[in-house]
Amino acid sequence: MSRFPLLLLSAVLSLAACSAQETPRPASPVQPQPGHADLGSLRVHYNLLPTLAMNEAVARSYGVNREADRALLVVALRQLSNGEELPAGGSVQATATDLSGQRQQVLLREVRTGPYTDLIGVLDAHPRDQLRLELQVAAPTAQGTVRFARNF
């Protein structure tokens, strides 16, 4: 007789623990994050990728070493005019912050691609890191801040 209340209590607690769970859902794809932001008529394109994701030829043309714990930041400024993106000049200061709050300034340098000039910089990025980037943009036609995050 003394076992029955103990078994009943155990069964009730087990059911209570199960019933509060959310029904499993199938995995759904994550929407891609935008790779640009508009500051008035100035469009700021940006991307952050592991240097190992680049092929050798691209890395060589950028003058970047492919390394496991490094990422490449690419920023391109374009002037919007009648639905077209034209080359635009300006400066960008970039800061990356990881989940522990460690900040690193990203030194950007210019790279010419045809009529366009892009800005690139290499920074530390470790596996399972999430980096939050802040770009301070100053151009003759606009200025502002662009923020984005990437997971590694």
Residue 16 lies in a domain: no
Q: pLDDT value at position 114?
A: 86
pLDDT at 28: 55
DSSP structural state of residue 51: G
Q: How many domains does the structure of the chain reveal?
A: 1
Mean residue pLDDT of the chain comes to 86
Structural domain harbouring 69: 34-151
Does 1 fall in a domain?
Answer: no
CA 78 – CA 75 distance, rounded (Å): 10
Bridge partners, 105 (sequence order): 95
pTM of the model: 0.77
pLDDT in tens, 91-148: 999 999 999 999 999 999 999 988 889 999 999 998 888 999 999 999 999 999 999 9
For 30-85, the pLDDT digits (tens) are 555 669 999 999 999 999 999 999 999 999 999 999 999 999 999 999 999 998 99
Residue type, 40: G
CA 115 to chain centre: 27
Examine residue 109 and state whether it is found in any structural domain, yes or no: yes
Domain for residue 24, yes or no? no
CATH number for the domain spanning 111: value is 2.60.40.3340
pLDDT score for 150: 93
